[in-house]
Structure 1
Amino acid sequence: MDPSAYKKLTTSRGFTYNYYNKAAEGSKPTLIFLHGFPSSSYDWRHQVAFFQPLGYGLIVPDMLGYAGTDKPTDPHAYIGSGLSADLVDILDAEHVNKVIVVGHDMGSLVASRFVDYHPDRIAALAFLAAAYIPAHTPEDSFALVKLVHEMAGREVFGYQLFMTSEGADKVIAEHFDSAFSLFFPSMPALWVEHMGPMGACEAWIRADKRSPAPAYITEEDKEHYRKVLLAGGFTAPLACYRAMGLVDPKPVPEEAAVINQPVFFAACKKDEICLPAIRHLTMGKRVKGPATIQEFDADHWVYLSHVEEINNALSGWLQGLKV
């Protein structure tokens, strides 16, 4: 990704974002790509290389807490209404009225709040691995975790307890190679034993266990993540997990119970955390617009591991939209 194509913008909340920008050609729509944990705009390099020559507008931010964007450590900075407002500020700065959102992992969570709070700014949404996530109270969250546990027959979200614990940022930084090998596993099934159960993620990292890098992560990629993530630290990136336990002071509008925009969902059959079946619990009653669900024989990192497949799938979906 061309470094000269990056811009800086300080939002109305006072946070400075670093984002890749390419204006659309002619009547082509603009795509905004939202990454999750632990990543940066660099994650979307394969999608930028594919869609930019086709004339699509591109906005690819380092999300709050990462890389060239500000890194507040207060979890309240990461509430959905605030992150959504930041995205609106970026769109306004680039004179983009409506955008097609592509989210992954925690980026899917931000995309979910974006359509909840600002549906008028969104033409369509694509969720990769993690489906639409409805706004919820801590009680709702507990109920969802219980439902997923029952559905899967095992613990699925135990790692989040470690992510929100005191000192997790330092443990991950001190054992970066171990943590990285678990976050980007060569064998997706590692997540069943070492991410899902409570205490397992922390135990793996503190024991400095390692697994080989998957084929889609090169040494150059790993060194990029090492440099970017260690330079910024993990306190800010982990704050987004702590924010999940907060009640947003700005209630989601009642009309957000329905999503009328076209939705694409990439279901990853080997993702042992964002189980494809979860979409029935989160999307089923809300998505009223055209829904396209496509399965990939991939783990959580589908847009890195199955580049050609996901790019072609998104391209075909985009071509069929009337936006």
Structure 2
Amino acid sequence: MDPSNYRTFTVSRGFVYNVYHVPAAAGKPTLLFMHGFPSSSYDWRRQLPHFAERGNGIVAPDMLGAGESSKPLDSKAFHLGARAQDVVELLDALGLAKVVGIATDWGGIFMSRLSMLHQDRFSGLAWLGVGFRPADLRPIDRESDCDMYAYWQFFMSPNAADTIHKNIDSFMQWVYPKDPNSWVTWMLTPGKTAECIESNILLGRPDWFLEEEYAKVRQDLLTNGVASGLLWYANELEGNDNDESLRIPQEAYAIKVPALFIGASKDVLLRESAGLVQMRKHATALHIASVDAGHYLHIEAAEEVNRILEEWIVTVPL
């Protein structure tokens, strides 16, 4: 990733976004990449150069609270609709009427809200790992899914950000697991996330996370911190989006542009089957694919994910 491709933009709310931008070649679409937590635009390091080299335009922001973008410490700043407007303003500043959205993890939840509020700005939408989430679905409210959110208890503890900073390698090896199934114990079992990180347990670096990449992400997290990024979770728990969610009409849930869902067969958190249910329910022109990878499928199985994306993107009308 060429550092000279980064630009900063200030949106009307006063927040600054750090954005990786490459203009599109004639006749090629621009791709908008949206990452999750605890990532930054660097999370797309195996996609951005690949697609730019093929003439595609690239827009990859450090999402609010991450990387070199603003890091507010008020959870209400992470309201989905307000952040959706931030991204629309970024597209306006770049003179982009339509883009192809590509998102993973929290970025996929965010892109779902973008789809419902601003689908006219997209010619296609691709969800990686996580599927579309309609406004009336808050999985954390469902008792049967409670263990899926066991790790949120640690994230919302007063000293979580400081503990993560202190035991950064434990956190990184927990959140980027060497064994995807380790999350069953250390993420999805109540109390185990706190035990792992507070006790500085080292679970090992995954083979797909190259040593130099690990070192960069480690330093970025130490430099930028996670206190702001953790507010993605606080915003959800506090229900800051609830009023807006109630106002979104059911017809806005329909994904009328071409859609892609790439499932990750080894992701024990965002299960492929759950993503498929919502995608099939709401997308009318849906392509489905699956890769044999964990949560970070776009890194772990980058070549296969890139191939699937390439083959799908050429079918999306400009």
> Normalised by the size of structure 1, how large is the TM-score?
0.93
Unaligned runs of 5+ in 1: 150-154
* Contact in 2 for aligned 1:148/1:278 (Cα 8 Å): no
Deviation at residue 78 of structure 1 after TM alignment = 0.7
Of 6-15 and 224-233, more deviation after overlay is shown by 224-233
* Contact in 1 for aligned 2:280/2:286 (Cα 8 Å): no
Q: Is 1:235 equivalent to 2:233 in the alignment?
A: no
* Contact in 2 for aligned 1:157/1:273 (Cα 8 Å): no
SS in structure 1 of the partner of residue 244 of structure 2: coil
Equivalenced residue count is 314
**Which residue identity does 1:295 align to in structure 2?**
S
**Equivalent of 1:224, from 196, 216, 224?**
216
Deviation at residue 228 of structure 1 after TM alignment = 1.2
Q: Is 1:263 equivalent to 2:259 in the alignment?
A: yes
Q: Is 1:275 equivalent to 2:243 in the alignment?
A: no
Matches of 2:2 and 2:172 in 1, distance apart?
Answer: 25
2:103 maps to which residue? 103
SS in structure 2 of the partner of residue 134 of structure 1: coil
**Which residue identity does 1:271 align to in structure 2?**
D
**Equivalent of 1:253, from 248, 252, 255?**
248
Deviation at residue 281 of structure 1 after TM alignment = 4.5
Of 159-168 and 13-22, more deviation after overlay is shown by 159-168
Matches of 1:221 and 1:116 in 2, distance apart?
Answer: 35
SS in structure 2 of the partner of residue 236 of structure 1: coil
Deviation at residue 148 of structure 1 after TM alignment = 4.0
* Contact in 2 for aligned 1:16/1:69 (Cα 8 Å): yes
Matches of 2:47 and 2:268 in 1, distance apart?
Answer: 24
Deviation at residue 234 of structure 1 after TM alignment = 1.3
* Per-residue Cα deviation, 1:183-207 (whole angstroms, up to 9, x for no partner): 1111111001110112111111111
Matches of 1:271 and 1:141 in 2, distance apart?
Answer: 17
Matches of 1:309 and 1:93 in 2, distance apart?
Answer: 33
What stretches of structure 1 move > 6 A for 4+ residues in a row? none
Of 299-308 and 224-233, more deviation after overlay is shown by 224-233
**Equivalent of 1:182, from 167, 174, 189?**
174
Deviation at residue 118 of structure 1 after TM alignment = 0.6
Deviation at residue 250 of structure 1 after TM alignment = 3.4
Deviation at residue 282 of structure 1 after TM alignment = 3.2
Deviation at residue 166 of structure 1 after TM alignment = 1.9
> Normalised by the size of structure 2, how large is the TM-score?
0.95
**Equivalent of 1:302, from 287, 297, 315?**
297
Matches of 2:33 and 2:15 in 1, distance apart?
Answer: 19
1:45 maps to which residue? 45
Deviation at residue 280 of structure 1 after TM alignment = 4.3
Matches of 1:318 and 1:94 in 2, distance apart?
Answer: 21
**Which residue identity does 2:267 align to in structure 1?**
D
2:30 maps to which residue? 30
Give % identity: 33
**Which residue identity does 1:60 align to in structure 2?**
A
Matches of 1:103 and 1:124 in 2, distance apart?
Answer: 12
